[in-house]
Chain A
Amino acid sequence: MLRYTINRVLLMIPTLLGVAVLVFFMLRVVPGDVVEIKLRGDGGNVSQETIELERKRMGLDKPFVSQFGDWMIGMATLDLGKSMWTERPVIEEISLRLELSLQVAIMATIIAVLIAIPLGTAAALFRDTWIDYVVRIVTIGGLSIPSFWFGMLIMLTLLGLFNWLPPITFTPIYVDPVANLTQLIWPAMAVGYRYCAVVSRMIRSSLLEVMNEDYIRTARAKGVYEKVVISRHALRNALLPAITVIGLEFTFLIGGLVVTEQVFNLNGIGQLFVQSVSRNDFTLIQGMVMLIAAFYVFVNLIIDLLYAVFDPRIRYE
């Protein structure tokens, strides 16, 4: 097990290196960079020399390979460089906003899982009845309704019912939990719907699969109450694939947040990402992509390890 873990951790390195190479060179293949947007973006007439000078100052005139080398060396010492737009360290820019996005993501996960487990179970137990069809339509709705529009609908509803909109300034939860929750519960709901849909579909299908297993028949034959069969024997095994989906969706929430934060005017990771893309802020884009990829790879590792913990039949050699 320990050997497997070490192996898996070592395997993360080539994947992340690949991500780094891909992002770095993709951003630089097509001409155009932050300097042009910064100096000419507002239509101002700036001479070519000024632009070249600014490029030189930022190190954008060096060959790609040496720029890449600098970035890699920086990363090895946990220095992601400076944002090309604000010139503040990338790590600082990200950590300023990480708290908010992470909290929304965690809240969305809690909401989604709490709703998804009963929903998915009901759909599986009452398969092909009206309950199943309603759940199916509700969950496909969750996959279809864009989270940003769902967020806008929440805003419209709040406005219509209470003539009130959530505050835009962020208060950390340890300062004022009420103010914090009244702001962040809505975006969490907006991204949680899709999340919940994905998880409950997974629970439904894996529960249906488990219900055909021999040990379920054995438990029933022994005269175990159906309630116990479902909660102790079936659901427990069916939750394993659901854990995978929960983990993967959690990382994908960052993607959902990119758009939803815009709706609620939240100054989070997503907003920062969109800003840096529209400003061609290469270092910031690279830093955030590395963060997201590292997170994804890490979550995958955790899922694999959890499998071994929860399912004794799985042993990694």
Chain B
Amino acid sequence: MTIAAPAVPTPRIREPNWFLDFCRQQPLGAVSFVIICCMMFAGIFSRLVAPYDPLDIDFASILGAPSWEHPCGTDAYGRDICSRLIFGSRTALVIGFTSSFIGSTLGAVLGVASAYFGGRIDNWIQRFMDILLAFPLIVLALVVVAALRKFVIGGVDVNLIFAIAIPILPRVARVVRAAALSVRVMPYVDAARAAGYSDTRIIFRHMAPNVVAPYLIMLTAFIAQAILAEASLSFLGLGVTEPTAAWGLMLSGNAADFYREAPWMILFPGAAISLAVFAFNLFGDSLRDYLDPRFRM
């Protein structure tokens, strides 16, 4: 007697598509992702996208109102504001991303190490973080700027990157440490230690991968903060220096003298900062909701 095996259609297991899944669950996050992509495109291909050279001074069209030739108008030197905005996105992204990356990564390593070693080392690291946390972000950034003075390598303001990265460090370290404390008591960490692995190996290979979610969330959230800090410092005249195109810088100096004559000099750069920070904030928010629904507000 033979029984024909029922033809079970083998279910095609679809690879979960992270990206589509994220877009479906977090529509606002998807929108912000599109904005970020546009910004990156503008930042990377500035030369191709921008209609003019951002440094081209044209005394024939000083303080020109927005028109077909100059969609965002021109500034007090006749430079095209739209092109300066496009090149400014490069400055904002480079400084925002590198400083957030440096600050978050160092903070994450310190946080995991602090949780792993515990005891006295943990205590000392935490006290040190407390000291750094006693400063508002922008105040600590200003102190670092004062300490490092001007320090430029290859056209990038290294002092500015560190000024923004250092205040980010303790804030990330604290969150990552909290996450790492719960990883530390996992059996596989004990197993790794019993196997005789080195501390460095356990920290980087066993614990760090398990705190990637809070790390990524903090990283994107702090890109927003870093862009804001860069704009603030440049606005104060202590960040990026002329003639480099940077959004904060475009608002500083004599821009305020032209409230009456040229409000577009103020409207567009500020809108660019706000949009960029808004996109990264929203993206960070959505990423948090997606990666860790427990934190959902």
CB–CB B146/A159 < 8 A: no
CB–CB B260/A159 < 8 A: yes
Q: Known: A152-B266, A297-B134. Is A201-B297 also a contact (CB below 8 A)?
A: yes
Q: Known: A30-B149, A145-B274. Is A278-B144 also a contact (CB below 8 A)?
A: no
**C-alpha spacing A159/B266, complex, angstroms:** 14
**Which residues of chain A have C-beta atoms less than 8 A from B138's C-beta?**
255-256, 258-259
B106 at interface by CB-CB < 8 Å: no
Residue of B nearest to A133 (CB): B28
CB–CB B148/A30 < 8 A: yes
Contact of A144 among B131, B248, B251, B277 (CB under 8 A): B277
Residue of A nearest to B236 (CB): A274
CB–CB B143/A278 < 8 A: no
B235 at interface by CB-CB < 8 Å: yes
A115 at interface by CB-CB < 8 Å: no
A106 at interface by CB-CB < 8 Å: no
Residue of A nearest to B137 (CB): A255
B228 at interface by CB-CB < 8 Å: yes
CB–CB B256/A278 < 8 A: no
**Which residues of chain A have C-beta atoms less than 8 A from B251's C-beta?**
148-149, 152
CB–CB B256/A263 < 8 A: yes
Stretch at the interface among B75-83, B195-203, B278-286: B278-286
**Which residues of chain A have C-beta atoms less than 8 A from B132's C-beta?**
22
A143 at interface by CB-CB < 8 Å: yes
B117 at interface by CB-CB < 8 Å: no
CB–CB B228/A140 < 8 A: no
Shortest Cβ gap from B119 to chain A (Å): 18
Interface string of B243-266 (1 = CB under 8 A from A): 000001001000010011001001
Shortest Cβ gap from A182 to chain B (Å): 18
**Which residues of chain A have C-beta atoms less than 8 A from B145's C-beta?**
277
**C-alpha spacing A211/B154, complex, angstroms:** 55
**Which residues of chain B have C-beta atoms less than 8 A from A85's C-beta?**
none
Q: Known: A143-B281, A285-B146. Is A252-B136 also a contact (CB below 8 A)?
A: yes
Counting from the closest, the 4 A-B pairs by CB-CB distance are A255-B136, A149-B270, A144-B278, A18-B131
26 contacting pairs across A/B (C-beta < 8 A):
A15-B130, A15-B131, A19-B134, A19-B135, A140-B285, A141-B278, A144-B224, A144-B275, A144-B278, A146-B232, A146-B270, A149-B266, A149-B270, A152-B251, A155-B256, A156-B267, A252-B136, A254-B139, A256-B136, A258-B142, A259-B232, A263-B256, A277-B146, A285-B146, A289-B135, A296-B135
